[in-house]
Structure 1
């Protein structure tokens, strides 16, 4: 089956929201506060991200199977890290809101989506890529580190339960 990543379109919005709703429920079932309450992905957030050209979807078997945002930084939450970023880059790309369809979870699709976003970032001449996740989210931590990201420290997002493990990948 052909699997690839492309920019999200407004016509993808219903599929994106189905996938993010599944992720919110899955995280809750894992006792994670990530994306719970008013801090989860919203239609307005993804509509804005699509219009800004920063939302991407993973296509698997001709269907939207995953979603993420790839945003050029800097980002304020990444400025204050309890740890240290490698290198001296003042601009970098961050990956946010990564999730795949819960009905086909466990097939390496999150890894494929992140890999594709890394390639897109590098094609745009970014060599510093950052991502974060909640400490409870062991599945995402596994995917992140499997792709070569290294743990750099803790950051605080401006939301309830906003403490996140921050990771970085430096490319040449």
Structure 2
């Protein structure tokens, strides 16, 4: 786009602002134009779902601390009493090539792990998994999103991208679990298309979880 085009756009914007000022008053017009500018900036935000790298670890630990505090506020025992993922866990996930982050303008704002190993808790489900004729599946674990960006749909974006990644890796059977009273997570799980299959229980206090599957 040449400078003449840019000048035309600037003139149009100025004329729009003046027209709004004549109709609504200049203060109201300025507020509207400011909101429009902010929305335009938001549209240019860069959101990426990518592999976690070692330099992400400090930001990830803050995400986990944030999520742990939020769960405590909700009265949930999930990730309490030293049950939250540790730095060693995250480092191992990175080493095993299973850790992913959602970044917003180069800032890590979401976390998850895609684990393809069989899980004894999943195998002992009180219910039934849908049978695809194979025992191969992948599970989404260690999900956390920054509270600083709550309300922007990043939790849904994180799960949608994790599902896409799992499918690109060749998995048709995708599983996830959460504590029975974790309302926000239950809402997200339902929203992205998982269906409830039964209860599982991990081998620690308050280890009961609702288990879900997406084919």
TM-score, structure 1 normalization: 0.96
SS in 2 for 1:98: strand
Q: In the alignment, does 2:192 pair up with 1:169?
A: no
Q: Which residue of 1 aligns with 2:204?
A: 159
Deviations 1:66-121 (A, max 9, x none): 00111113211100111110114301000001011111112111111111111111
Structure-2-length-normalised TM-score: 0.77
- Could you tell me how far apart the structure 2 residues matched to 1:159 and 1:61 are? 37
Q: Retained in 2: the 8 A contact 1:56–1:67?
A: yes
Partner of 1:135: 180
Q: Is 1:6 the equivalent of 2:41?
A: no
When the two chains are superposed, the root-mean-square deviation of aligned CA atoms in Å is 0.8
- Residue 159 of structure 2 corresponds to which residue in structure 1? 114
Query: Which structure has greater strand proportion?
Result: 1
Q: Which has the larger radius of gyration?
A: 2
Alignment correspondent of 1:20: 64
Task: Point out the structure with the larger helix share.
Answer: 2
Kindly indicate whether the alpha-carbon contact (under 8 Å) linking 1:89 and 1:128 is maintained by their aligned counterparts in 2: no
Structure 2 portions without partners, runs of 5+: 1-44
Structure 1 counterpart SS, 2:79: coil
The reply to whether residue 47 of structure 1 matches residue 98 of structure 2 is no
Is 1:71 the equivalent of 2:108?
Answer: no
**Greater relative CO, 1 or 2 (CA 8 Å, sep 6+):** 1
* CA distance in 1: counterparts of 2:191 and 2:147, whole angstroms: 20
Match of 1:144 in 2: 189
Correspondence for 1:59: 103
For structure 1, list consecutive stretches of 5 or more residues without a partner in the other structure.
none
